[in-house]
């Protein structure tokens, strides 16, 4: 299956278990790997045979910058569901949501959730 990759999209959201996260917010990064058939798009140079990258970004942004969730897992699940709802050509998606600065003790670069979903 062909793939469209969108990496390190940056958004500001108010997700988390702690009141400070819901009040102050924080940055979230999202990587997407979208699986679909791109043969016709490549042969015809017709955007109607692909998926518009800007629209992918907008759908993802609506989720991450939308209603606050407690878990990063819920953000990833909603991104996948929203993408399937918005793009009929999409066969499967791998969603990675990265939380660069979670309020937990220790030294690390980030915490991330990655999930793969196929069209229901």
Separation of CA 66 from chain center: 13
Q: Is 99 a catalytic residue?
A: yes
Distance of CA 44 to the CA centre of its chain: 28
- Per-position DSSP letters for 22-34, written without gaps between them: HHH-EEEEEEEEE
Whether the Cβ atoms of residue 11 and residue 61 lie closer than 8 Å to each other: yes
Q: Could you say which of 23, 39, 89, 99 is catalytic?
A: 99
CB proximity list for 71: less than 8 A, separation 6 or greater: 15, 17
The residues assigned a catalytic role are 99
């Amino acid at each position: 299956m062909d793939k469209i990759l969108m990496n390190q999209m940056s958004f500001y959201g108010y997700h988390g278990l702690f009141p400070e996260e819901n009040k102050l917010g924080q940055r979230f990064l999202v990587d997407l790997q979208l699986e679909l058939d791109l043969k016709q798009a490549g042969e015809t140079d017709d955007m109607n045979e692909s998926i518009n990258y800007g629209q992918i970004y907008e759908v993802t942004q609506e989720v991450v910058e939308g209603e606050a969730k407690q878990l990063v897992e819920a953000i990833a699940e909603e991104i996948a569901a929203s993408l399937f709802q918005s793009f009929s050509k999409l066969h499967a998606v791998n969603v990675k949501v990265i939380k660069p600065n979670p309020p937990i003790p220790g030294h690390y670069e980030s915490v991330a959730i990655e999930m793969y979903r196929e069209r229901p």
